[in-house]
Each structure stands twice: as C-alpha cells, then as structure tokens.
C-alpha cells in the first residue's frame, strides 16, 4: 500500500485539509517520500492542468484522487439540492471534475457534494431518487471517460445521506452504479460503524480508496484509533490502493504531514 496525502489546490472553508501553497506542499511531499497526492479542487476550470502535470512529474507524485466537497462548502452546490438549477450546476461541475481526472487517470470523490436532506419523509424520498438519477448520469459519464467514482460514507454531523459503508454499498447496488466504489475514512467510520474492523473486511472488495485520520480528525497517533489492527484488517482484504492522510492541518500543515509518514511507516 502506498501513501498519499490530501491537500487543497486553493483556499477553502473546508477545515480537514491544508490550503497552504500547493507547490510548496508537493515539494515537501517528495522530500518525505510520498508516492501520491490527493487534491481538493473547487472548480476544475480554474486549474492549469499543464502546470499541474509538470509539477507532479517534477516531484514524482501521482495524482490519486480529486476531492470535490469545496463546491458544496464554499459555493453551496449539491447533487440533492431542492432547487433544480443548483442540482444542474452541481452535475455540470462534477462532469468537469471527471474531465480533469481523465487527464490524470485518477478517481473523483463524491463526498459532501451529495448534500444533505431536510423536510418531511416524502420530500426526502423524492430527493434521494433525484440524487440517484444524478449519480447514474455521472457514473455513466465517468465510465465513458474511464474514470472511477468513489462514494465516501460521511458521519451524521455532516450529512444524513449514506453514513455507513453498508448504506453506501446498498445505494450503489440498488441504483446499479457499477462505476462507483467505496471510499472508507477511518474518522467517519469511528463515528458511524458498529465495528470498524468488521466493516473493512466485509466491504474490502468494494473499496477503491482509503482516508486515514484519527478519532479526533487529527494525524494518526493523536487520537485513540488502533491503526495496527486497522492496517491488519485492510491488508487482509488484498487492498492495493493508496492510504491518504486527510485531517486537520494541526499544529501546522507541515508537522501534520511529517507525523503521517512517520507514523504510518511504523505501523
Ligand atoms: Mn475523508
């Protein structure tokens, strides 16, 4: 399993990743020995992909995945918004993310961009069905571009749509989203899963990517998660992908990144 780290390409309100100068971060990542990087991107049209390609190559880093939640946090776009105009904007933004991902052969993550549901049960059901339709459209679009989508179960304080791995896999199966895979995040799992280790072994074959953060959303070792046991469970599934550090850049972004690589090499 290779190590990557999640950073933002531009300033964002999303607190779980660093928005320090991305080129400086990539230089440090190369120095520390990371194999890949995960980039939070608000608007892919604002990205100079040639410059990005050259900078990645210079630092021997692979772009592993694109995080898309900033369009929700910073602009209020969501795939399940009651307003059809906003839903449409969210879909077209996500298609642009897929176009960018196609150039780098990386994943696109569906996290906060799915939004959250309010209102009565009937209204929620309508919006879930509408979300499923949008997901089918995106999944098919991405498949044509040979890009895989990742759906990340998120904890209940951030959304009420797909909190657990079981709910997420059920959603994928029910709506025949055969181009969508599971992104497991140890921070969210610690809040939502009855048994984190069992979840890993149960859904391992469906996992495309993994986020690592401790119980308090800080660097691993700062909280109370048992990463030795977690790594054993992941290894057992035959997972060959990346382990991406994704958590609050504290006490500062550089220290948080150094702590990650040191700790993960230890476990
Ligand atoms: Mn995550």
Check residue 12 and give its pLDDT. Answer: 86
Distance 58 CA to ligand 1 centre (A): 27
Distance 109 CA to ligand 1 centre (A): 9
Instruction: Give residue 252's domain range.
Output: 2-266
Mean pLDDT, rounded, for 58-66: 98
The CA-based dihedral angle spanning residues 6, 12, 10, 78, taken in that order and rounded to the nearest 10 degrees:
80
234: pLDDT confidence band, cut at 50, 70 and 90? very high
Distance 244 CA to ligand 1 centre (A): 9
Q: What pLDDT, in 10s, does the model give residues 169-228?
A: 999 999 999 999 999 999 999 999 999 999 999 999 999 999 999 999 999 999 999 999
Distance 27 CA to ligand 1 centre (A): 23
Mean pLDDT, rounded, for 16-25: 89
CATH number of residue 225's parent domain: 3.20.20.150
Mean pLDDT, rounded, for 15-38: 93
Distance 184 CA to ligand 1 centre (A): 7
The contacts found for 216-224 with CB under 8 angstroms, 24 or more apart, are 217/16, 217/187, 217/247, 217/248, 218/247, 218/248, 218/250, 218/256, 219/245, 219/247, 219/256, 219/259, 219/260, 219/263, 220/245, 220/259, 220/260, 220/263, 220/264, 220/267, 221/259, 221/263, 222/259
* Token couple for 93: 């933004």
Check residue 146 and give its pLDDT. Answer: 98
Look at residue 61 and tell me whether its pLDDT is greater than 90.
yes
Check residue 259 and give its pLDDT. Answer: 97
State yes or no: is 192 an active-site residue: no
35: pLDDT confidence band, cut at 50, 70 and 90? very high
Check residue 157 and give its pLDDT. Answer: 97
User: How much of the chain, in percent, has pLDDT values that exceed 70?
Assistant: 100
Choosing from 38, 137, 152, 167, the catalytic residue is 152
State yes or no: is 246 an active-site residue: yes
Instruction: Find where tokens 């991406």 sit.
Output: 244
Instruction: Give residues with Cβ within 8 angstroms of 117, minimum separation 6.
Output: 80, 123, 124, 127, 128, 160, 161
Check residue 16 and give its pLDDT. Answer: 82
Check residue 106 and give its pLDDT. Answer: 98
Picking from 247, 112, 109, the residue whose alpha carbon sits closest to that of residue 181 is 109
Look at residue 15 and tell me whether its pLDDT is greater than 90.
no
Distance 211 CA to ligand 1 centre (A): 5
Check residue 11 and give its pLDDT. Answer: 85
Work out how many domains the chain is built from and give that number: 1
Check residue 9 and give its pLDDT. Answer: 93
Q: What pLDDT, in 10s, does the model give residues 126-164?
A: 999 999 999 999 999 999 999 999 999 999 999 999 999
Check residue 219 and give its pLDDT. Answer: 98
Check residue 199 and give its pLDDT. Answer: 97
Query: How many Å apart are CA 124 and CA 69, to the nearest integer?
Result: 21
Picking from 170, 165, 171, the residue whose alpha carbon sits closest to that of residue 191 is 165
14: pLDDT confidence band, cut at 50, 70 and 90? confident
* Token couple for 219: 């660097």
Choosing from 38, 192, 193, 246, the catalytic residue is 246
**Three-class SS state of 35:** coil
Distance 246 CA to ligand 1 centre (A): 6
CB atoms within 10 A of CB 44: 23
Picking from 188, 247, 179, 233, the residue whose alpha carbon sits closest to that of residue 38 is 247
């Amino acid at each position: 399993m290779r190590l990557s780290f999640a950073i933002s390409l531009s300033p964002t309100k999303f607190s779980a990743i660093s928005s320090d100068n991305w080129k400086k971060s990539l230089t440090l990542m190369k120095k520390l020995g990371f194999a890949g990087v995960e980039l939070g991107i608000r608007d892919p049209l604002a990205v100079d992909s040639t410059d990005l390609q050259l900078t990645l190559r210079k630092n021997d880093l692979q772009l592993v995945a694109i995080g898309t939640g900033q369009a929700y946090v910073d602009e209020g776009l969501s795939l399940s918004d009651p307003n059809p105009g906003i839903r449409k904007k969210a879909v077209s933004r996500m298609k642009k993310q897929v176009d960018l991902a196609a150039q780098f052969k990386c994943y696109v993550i569906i996290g906060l961009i799915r939004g959250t549901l309010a209102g009565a049960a009937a209204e929620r059901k309508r919006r879930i069905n509408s979300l499923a339709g949008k997901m089918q459209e995106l999944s098919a679009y991405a498949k044509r571009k040979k890009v895989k989508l990742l759906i990340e179960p998120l904890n209940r304080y951030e959304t009420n749509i797909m909190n657990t791995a079981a709910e997420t896999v059920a959603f994928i199966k029910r709506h025949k989203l055969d181009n969508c895979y599971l992104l497991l995040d140890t921070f969210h799992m610690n809040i939502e899963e009855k048994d984190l280790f069992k979840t890993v072994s149960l859904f391992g074959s469906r996992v495309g990517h993994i986020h690592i953060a401790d119980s308090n959303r800080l660097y691993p070792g700062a909280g109370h998660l048992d990463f030795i046991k977690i790594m054993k469970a992941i290894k057992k599934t035959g997972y060959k992908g990346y382990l991406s550090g994704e958590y609050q850049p504290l006490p500062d972004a550089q220290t948080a990144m150094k702590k990650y690589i040191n700790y993960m090499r230890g476990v």
